[in-house]
Structure 1
Amino acid sequence: MKIVIFGGTGFVGLNVAEVLLARGHDVTLYDRAELPPSARRSLADYGARLKAVQGDITDAATIDALIAGGCDAIVLGAAVTAGDELERVSTARVLEINVMAQIPILLSAIRHGVRRVVNLSSASAYGAAGARVDILDEETPCDPVSFYAISKFTSERSVARHAELFGGDFLSVRLSALFGPWEKPSSVRDTPSLQFQILAAFARGESALLPAPGIKDWTYAPDAAEAVALLIEAERPCHRLYNISSGTPWSALQWGEAFAALHPGLECRLAAPGEKTLIKLHGGDRAPMSVKRMADEFGWRARFGCAESAAAMSAWWMQHKEGI
């Protein structure tokens, strides 16, 4: 298939692109940012099957022309992933990019007969509901709080409503606590995972000192990308919303210790009382997400747990250390 990934040169976009290319598809990355040199080198063997187009997500005319040129599927991955700081200064921008900019893309997809659109949403859409239940499934009523969470929940509803009104084959996925290759903070993403911050400390030659263990249903980005690819390829998905998660809570501290054990001289531990740490937690504790829907329908489950993802990330880190 010919697949366009909006937000394609970002963290999640690049992971999805790698998986789709490996599965034989042609991929176009549309993003305001250039394809990072390390990613360009890593993906060079795919040749003409990979294209990168620089452009703004609000440029409806350019996007319509791109889709009109031939497109079987679209991944809506462009987003402002805002923590409290970025939210304070970019409230309107969060809603503009995460919700409103999607609408011309959806209408273009309908006009030009795009087979499927997958909207990348977030576990944050559950919001405060995550503190009231033991497990979050797709039927759990949402209670989004932050503007980012509100925007993601709204994007899901907008995508579903467009599908109902115009007959598009559109669906959304809620991604849980992603980390892994190609992650980087940017002007539109100020919430790096604890794993990225641990690696950043190691890259500076410092110990990784965590303010807390950081327990979540952490999900290795290549696992999430495999799930997205399955949904793009599926003949007829039964639902319009799917959770994508490892399904198992474990701590970033445990992950950092496993990573450090592979590299003598590295240290990851909890900061002692009064000890300074640059590592920040983003978001409070919440229940893990159920992946029963993905497992029952597609047989998908995350392949990388804590130890497995630490080993895989170690191998990747050795090749791409300069990018951290």
Structure 2
Amino acid sequence: MKIVIFGGTGFVGLNVAEVLLARGHEVTLYDRKQLPAGAERFFADHRERLSIIQGEITDIERIDALVKQGFDAIILGAAITAGDQLERTTTSSILEINVMAQMPILSAAIRRGVRRVINLSSASAYGAAGQRYPVLDEETPCDPVSFYAISKFTSERSVARLAELWGGDFLSVRLSAVFGPWEQIGKVRDTPSLQFQILAAFARGEPALLPAPGIKDWTYAPDAAEAVAVLIEAERPRHRLYNISSGAAWSALQWGEAFAALHPGLECRLASPGEKTFIKLHGGDRAPMSVKRMADEFGWRARFGCVESAAAMSAWWMQHKEGI
């Protein structure tokens, strides 16, 4: 299939692109940013099936001309992933990029007969409900709090409503605590995963000191990308919303210890009282998301748990750390 990923040179976009290319699809990445240097080298072997277009997500005319070229699927991955500081300074932009910028793309998809659109949402849409329920499934009532969470929840409802009005095959997925290859921070993403921050400390030659264990249903990015690919290829998904998660809660501390065990000299531990740490949690613990819907309908489950993802990330890190 021919697939365009908006926000394609970002963290999740690159992982999805890698999986789709490996499955034989043609992929176009649309983003305001160029490919990171390490990714430029990695994706060089796929140039015959990979196109990269630099452009703003708000450039309606350029996006319409792109969609007019004919695509089987669109992935909406452009977003401002905001923590408290970015939320304070870019409130209007969060809503503009994460919600309103999707509307012209969806309209173009309807006009041009795009087979399927997948909106990449977030577990943050559950908001405060994550502290009130033991497990979060797609029917759990949401209580989004931050502007990022509000924007993601609103994007899901907007995508679903347009699908109802025009008959489009539009889906949303809630991604849970994703970490892994190609993760990056920047002007539109200031909430790096604990795993990213652990590796950053290791790269500086420092011990990774965590303020707390950091328990979540952490999801290795290649697993999340594979789930998105499954939904793109599915003939007739039965739902408009799917959770994508490892389905099990474990701590970033446990992951960091597993990673450090593979590299003598590295250390990951909790910070002692009064000991300074630069690692930030970016939100507290919450209930894990259920993936029963994905498992029952498609047989999909995450392949990487805590130890497995640490080993896989270790191999990736050794191969790519010069370009990080």
TM-score range for the pair, normalised by the shorter chain length: over 0.9
Partners of 2:13 and 2:103 lie apart in 1 by 19
Partners of 1:76 and 1:60 lie apart in 2 by 14
What does the per-residue CA deviation read over 1:72-127, in whole Å, with 9 as the maximum and x for residues that have no partner?
A: 10000000000000000000000000000000000000000000000000000000
User: Which residue of structure 1 lines up, in the alignment, with residue 39 of structure 2?
Assistant: 39
User: Which residue of structure 1 lines up, in the alignment, with residue 3 of structure 2?
Assistant: 3
Partners of 1:161 and 1:175 lie apart in 2 by 20
User: Which residue of structure 2 lines up, in the alignment, with residue 303 of structure 1?
Assistant: 303
Partners of 1:238 and 1:70 lie apart in 2 by 25
User: Which residue of structure 2 lines up, in the alignment, with residue 78 of structure 1?
Assistant: 78
Partners of 2:263 and 2:301 lie apart in 1 by 29
Partners of 2:207 and 2:286 lie apart in 1 by 27
| TM-fit CA distance, 1:47 | 2.0
In structure 1, give the amino acid aligned to 2:54: Q
Q: How does 1:130-209 map to 2 (within 5 A)?
A: 130-209=130-209
Structure 2, unaligned stretches of length 5 or more?
Answer: none
What does the per-residue CA deviation read over 1:259-279, in whole Å, with 9 as the maximum and x for residues that have no partner?
A: 000000000000000000100
| TM-fit CA distance, 1:319 | 1.3
| TM-fit CA distance, 1:323 | 4.1
Larger deviation: 34-43 or 131-140?
34-43
Q: How does 1:4-153 map to 2 (within 5 A)?
A: 4-153=4-153
Partners of 2:183 and 2:141 lie apart in 1 by 30
User: Which residue of structure 2 lines up, in the alignment, with residue 221 of structure 1?
Assistant: 221
Partners of 1:322 and 1:282 lie apart in 2 by 27
Q: How does 1:256-267 map to 2 (within 5 A)?
A: 256-267=256-267
Q: Aligned in 2, Cα 1:295/1:96: closer, same or farther, shift over 3 Å?
A: same
Contact 2:37 2:323 in 1 (8 A): no
Count of matched residue pairs? 324
In structure 2, give the amino acid aligned to 1:63: I
Could you tell me the TM-score, scaled by structure 2's length?
0.99
Partners of 1:113 and 1:63 lie apart in 2 by 15
What does the per-residue CA deviation read over 1:199-248, in whole Å, with 9 as the maximum and x for residues that have no partner?
A: 00000000000000000000000000000000000000000000000000
Larger deviation: 111-120 or 314-323?
314-323
Partners of 1:35 and 1:69 lie apart in 2 by 22
Q: What RMSD, in angstroms, separates the aligned Cα atoms of the two structures?
A: 0.6
| TM-fit CA distance, 1:39 | 0.6
| TM-fit CA distance, 1:48 | 1.6
Partners of 1:19 and 1:268 lie apart in 2 by 30
Aligned structure 1 segments of 4 or more residues deviating by more than 4 angstroms: none
Partners of 1:284 and 1:266 lie apart in 2 by 26
State the percentage of identical aligned residues. 83
| TM-fit CA distance, 1:70 | 1.3
Could you tell me the TM-score, scaled by structure 1's length?
0.99
User: Which residue of structure 1 lines up, in the alignment, with residue 244 of structure 2?
Assistant: 244
